[in-house]
Amino acid sequence: METTQNKRGTRGISTKAATTKSLSTDKNIYEYMSKSGGSVHMLIQSGITVYDKESNAVREIRYCENENSIFKDEQSSSSVKTPIVFRMGRIFVHENKPNLKRYLDLHPGNEANGGTVFYLVDNEADAEKEIQNEFLSVDAISMVRDKPLEELMSVAMAFNVSTDRKVAEIKHDLLQIAKSNPKKFIDSFDNPVVSMKAKVKQAKSMQIIKADSDAVRWFDSDKVIISVPVGQDPIDVMVRYCLTEQAAVLVSEIDRQLGA
């Protein structure tokens, strides 16, 4: 049997039982998950202390099945600790064991208290999060279908998707991006960095500017627009510059040559 040693120490935790939601199809069962691997883990209870606000003292806690209190100083001297075992990474606590639930809720190893040993599973919250993610994914996919081609091309260039192909192929790649990171994809349509990056890349592809490792230049005159620091990407440097007020005239000229 593997054991998970908890860090001993005092945590500033109220001893009032935390309010928790029911966490399974049975409203009277709470599920806790171990964050360690393995099929069986016993929670070590020796020397576990918490700060009790009601008594303004640091008190040792332990779980004894036949004791109403989890505080050692309120338990019988003959009481024996009851093993707390996570099987297959889980332990289910029924409502008829309020002392066990309270012990786990106040335990310093609980993720809710800043611990790294176990956490309370909130299936309702997990389900809500999954639903929201699904809705977000649907919205992102719909944008690939419904957004004007011009906007899609801008986003495609910002995501380094080659636009020198058939529209169906471009949309296929955008669809994969929308599925893998729907929030980032949706946000990109309103992101000034994304639209500017698309514009700069389009200007480069149409030979209005050229991006060398040391500088970005006008293609025809070879005049330097902005120098590029060593190790930085010339397109990124150009994009950042174009988003500043002093580059307003430059951006207007690029727009003119792009026919915007």
Rg (CA), the chain: 30
What's the rounded Cα separation, in Å, for the pair 35 and 7?
Answer: 14
Q: Which residue pairs, CB below 8 angstroms and at least 24 apart, start in 69-77? A: 69/99, 70/99, 70/102, 70/103, 70/106, 71/15
Predicted confidence band of residue 172 (pLDDT cuts 50, 70, 90) = very high
Q: What is the pTM of this model?
A: 0.43
Angle between helical axes of 234-242 and 248-258 (0-180°, round to 10): 110
pLDDT above 70: percentage of residues in the chain: 88
137: β partners:
none
Name the residue with higher pLDDT: 20 or 29.
29
Q: What angle do CA 18, 107, 90 make, to 5 degrees?
A: 90
* pLDDT tens column, 97-155: 999 999 999 999 898 898 888 888 887 766 777 888 888 899 999 999 998 887 888 88
pLDDT above 90: percentage of residues in the chain: 50
Is residue 31's pLDDT more than 90? no
**Predicted local confidence at residue 126, as pLDDT:** 66
**Predicted local confidence at residue 123, as pLDDT:** 72
**Predicted local confidence at residue 21, as pLDDT:** 42
What residue segments make up the domains of the chain, in order of their start?
2-121, 122-190, 192-260
* pLDDT tens column, 202-232: 899 899 999 999 999 999 999 999 999 999 9
